[in-house]
Structure 1
Amino acid sequence: LNVIYETVIKGKSLSQGLAASNKFSEYEFYCIQVGEESNRLVEVLDELIIYYADQSAMKKQITSVMSYPLFVLVITIGLVYFMMTSVVPMFADVFKQFGSELPSLTLKVIYLSENFPKFFIIFISVGGGLFFLCRSQREQIWFRKYTSMLILKVPTVGNIVKIIYLGRMTQSLHLLLSAKTPLIKSLELTHKLVKFYPIQLAINQIQIDIKKGKTMYEGMSNFEIFPKRMLSLIKVGEQVNQLETMMGKLSNQYSTELKYQTTIIGKIMEPLILLIIGGIVGVILVAMYMPMFNLSNIMTQ
């Protein structure tokens, strides 16, 4: 704020102050610049308020849905580690005194218990390796291409990721077009903001098609990432010269759809995770008690 203040005091514009601070993206800088040049700065700032409020709400919604499963996952790993390293070895020592043949499930659980520290180290090593691979290669084209393809193929998760980035794209275009930014420039800035490979690839080609005289609808229709409903509204928006209005409607639709999808997933995941935890613990306990049941049956006979 001090840098922006000093820049403006020297007679420069607010957008130049933003650029001088090196704390704002080109997207934000250009939106403010367009607002100043078109004498619509107040309207642009109002749109930016809505934009960042929606982005913040979206992040909170996703965080609230993912926090519970992640917490339960950590608890589950700790619980399994405790049972495999403490509870199962205690039962295994008792079983050795029986001298009888153990059920297949019990033998498998005991084998896992005896080798669990080794398997756990391998698991942590593989997880750490994948984490560092993602961190080091996340900006590489090949990595972004294949990871985005993989994510989109995952049921439910792929659809949510798609909704998130389509919502971000339409909201960005609505803000820029409402500020009377040229369509090509709006797409260029949106390309920098929406860091999802399939959409960035599509935007690059759409810009080329528009320069050749095609409409935005014609350029977008060549890519499967854009749903038919979205294409239909954009086609109508271009025909009636209300493209920014249609982008705003699409943005609101995707925001509503995301809230609905994340709420449904949150309600489904809670009992599903409890069933998974119960299943894991149940299998271990059944494996440990089966030899005792067999022994009691032999004694009664």
Structure 2
Amino acid sequence: MARFKYQGRAKSGKKSGIVTAASKREAVVQLRDKGIKVLEISEIPETLLTKELTLGNPVKLHDFVIYLRQFATLIRAGISIVEATSILAEQTESKSLKRALLLVEQDLREGTPLSTAAAKHKKIFSSMFVNMIRAGEAGGNMDETLEKLAVHFEKQHFTKQKIVSALAYPVAVAIIAIGVVIFLLVSVVPTFVDMFKDFGGELPAITKFVLNASSFMQKFWWLVVLFMVACFVAIILIRNNKSTKYYLDYFLLKMPIFGKMLQKAALARMTRTLSSLFASSVPILQALSIVESIVENEVIAKVIVKSRHSLEQGRSLTEPMKEHWVFPPLITQMIAIGEQTGALDSMLAKVADFYEREVESATDRLKSLIEPLMIVLLAGLVGTIVTSIMIPMFDIFQHVG
């Protein structure tokens, strides 16, 4: 929502202030409803203090799925697209989606098609959504199109949640382990330093290592913080640059244990998206262009680009896929059968179902494997620090005895 500064006149006299609305026209209507005749109004520019900051997609996938489900239900009930958009703008809990829907509603009331109005908000409505809505408008089956979109994003949300749940545990344990180690090195180990100095004997190598690490953490803790911040910033910069993101995605796909799971998730997303687009009669070249931009994996995206060029030159869609390790024979064979039989959308849907089940079972296996490994890792780190302190303590007790 934008903020507008206004000057106006009411029955009680001159009025001025700030009003929040989706557009200048809506702001004027709001003030008019309050009995204020607007004399002058201007939008207040956003600053870092007033701008709503978001990371990644501003609308959660869960909120978007709910919006699609409700939209399909309202359209099926005979409510117009304009009124349905107005109702959903009021109901949604997502501020970003609410703001976009209010602007879309305004365009709809001016006679703009939904696909054109949605295309103005690329951060909210993906190119896949826009093109499937455009196909639904042309075919006159908007409720079916919205239902297909809802099913697509629900499956995508389910797969994403499985990946997140599989990675959440090791990340959480790793953070706890780092916190515990830092606490021990900064708060506990220094209390034994003077005791070991008074002892005067030769300390074990493991004890020297832990004491040196403790001394470093106390003196140069800011370097550790700076390093962590630098790593975080570097990852963001790498992900935002297509050329460097390719190497990051390549590395992630080649990782032991996690790589296969991430590969299956990316392939499930790609095949599900293509299947949904083909089922909505989106032209194949346009569908491939859409998938390139939303697959979220540059390794797969580059192969899709080659596949599109292959089609443009009159060759098969699967030729570049067969030459790349990221595409297993199952995908290339199923796509080839789909091309020959004219049932490419159903073949891709079957492949997507297969890989979504594979991701589900892989994440379950991964969680059962990683939980004990992370516990052993945490116990090993803490045990190493405790052991480094206990060994010289036993020597001191023996010396005193």
TM over 0.5: yes
Instruction: Tell me how far apart the structure 2 counterparts of residues 81 and 137 of structure 1 sit (CA, whole Å).
Output: 28
Asked if 1:7 corresponds to 2:85, the answer is: no
Instruction: Tell me how far apart the structure 2 counterparts of residues 82 and 6 of structure 1 sit (CA, whole Å).
Output: 56
Letter in 2 for 1:208: H
Q: Shift of residue 273 of structure 1?
A: 1.1
Alpha-carbon distance change, 142 to 17 in structure 1, aligned in 2, over 3 angstroms = closer
Q: RMSD of aligned C-alpha atoms? A: 2.0
Instruction: Tell me how far apart the structure 1 counterparts of residues 105 and 242 of structure 2 sit (CA, whole Å).
Output: 39
Structure 2: runs of 5 or more not aligned: 1-100
Contact 1:210-1:219 at 8 Å conserved across structures: no
Q: Match for residue 49 of structure 1?
A: 150
Letter in 1 for 2:117: G
Q: Match for residue 334 of structure 2?
A: 233
Instruction: Tell me how far apart the structure 2 counterparts of residues 20 and 74 of structure 1 sit (CA, whole Å).
Output: 40
Q: Shift of residue 207 of structure 1?
A: 0.8
Q: Match for residue 270 of structure 1?
A: 371
Picking from 119, 125, 143, the partner of 1:19 is 119
Letter in 2 for 1:255: E
Structure 1: runs of 5 or more not aligned: none
Letter in 1 for 2:107: T
Instruction: Tell me how far apart the structure 2 counterparts of residues 61 and 157 of structure 1 sit (CA, whole Å).
Output: 13
Counterparts of residues 32-111 of structure 1 (less than 5 Å):
32-111=133-212
Instruction: Tell me how far apart the structure 2 counterparts of residues 293 and 210 of structure 1 sit (CA, whole Å).
Output: 75
Letter in 2 for 1:15: S
Instruction: Tell me how far apart the structure 2 counterparts of residues 85 and 271 of structure 1 sit (CA, whole Å).
Output: 27
Q: SS at 1:101's partner residue? A: coil
Alpha-carbon distance change, 92 to 214 in structure 1, aligned in 2, over 3 angstroms = same
Q: Shift of residue 297 of structure 1?
A: 4.4
Contact 1:44-1:175 at 8 Å conserved across structures: no
Picking from 148, 151, 165, the partner of 2:266 is 165
Q: Shift of residue 296 of structure 1?
A: 4.1
Structure of higher RCO (CA pairs closer than 8 Å, 6+ residues apart): 1
Instruction: Tell me how far apart the structure 2 counterparts of residues 247 and 206 of structure 1 sit (CA, whole Å).
Output: 15
Q: SS at 2:240's partner residue? A: coil
Q: Match for residue 351 of structure 2?
A: 250
Letter in 1 for 2:305: N
Contact 1:167-1:255 at 8 Å conserved across structures: yes
Alpha-carbon distance change, 184 to 105 in structure 1, aligned in 2, over 3 angstroms = same
Q: Match for residue 289 of structure 1?
A: 390
Alpha-carbon distance change, 271 to 113 in structure 1, aligned in 2, over 3 angstroms = same
Q: SS at 2:318's partner residue? A: helix
Asked if 1:221 corresponds to 2:322, the answer is: yes
Q: Match for residue 304 of structure 2?
A: 203
Contact 1:3-1:21 at 8 Å conserved across structures: no
Letter in 2 for 1:73: A
Contact 2:238-2:248 at 8 Å conserved across structures: no
Q: Shift of residue 209 of structure 1?
A: 0.6
Instruction: Tell me how far apart the structure 2 counterparts of residues 106 and 3 of structure 1 sit (CA, whole Å).
Output: 65
Asked if 1:136 corresponds to 2:215, the answer is: no
Counterparts of residues 111-150 of structure 1 (less than 5 Å):
111-118=212-219, 120-150=221-251
| Deviation digits for residues 67-124 of structure 1 (CA, Å, limit 9, x no counterpart) | 3333322222221112112221112211222222222211221111111234543332
Which shifted more, 229-238 or 4-13?
A: 4-13
| Deviation digits for residues 11-37 of structure 1 (CA, Å, limit 9, x no counterpart) | 443223323556422221111001221
Instruction: Tell me how far apart the structure 2 counterparts of residues 10 and 207 of structure 1 sit (CA, whole Å).
Output: 37
Contact 1:32-1:45 at 8 Å conserved across structures: yes
Instruction: Tell me how far apart the structure 2 counterparts of residues 292 and 95 of structure 1 sit (CA, whole Å).
Output: 8
Letter in 1 for 2:328: P
Instruction: Tell me how far apart the structure 2 counterparts of residues 99 and 5 of structure 1 sit (CA, whole Å).
Output: 79
Q: Shift of residue 298 of structure 1?
A: 5.0
Instruction: Tell me how far apart the structure 1 counterparts of residues 148 and 380 of structure 2 sit (CA, whole Å).
Output: 49
Higher normalized strand content (fraction of residues): 2
Q: TM-score, normalised by structure 2?
A: 0.70
Instruction: Tell me how far apart the structure 1 counterparts of residues 177 and 120 of structure 2 sit (CA, whole Å).
Output: 49
Q: TM-score, normalised by structure 1?
A: 0.92
Letter in 1 for 2:174: L
Q: Match for residue 156 of structure 1?
A: 257
Contact 1:217-1:231 at 8 Å conserved across structures: yes
Q: Match for residue 87 of structure 2?
A: none
Instruction: Tell me how far apart the structure 2 counterparts of residues 118 and 142 of structure 1 sit (CA, whole Å).
Output: 38
Letter in 2 for 1:102: L
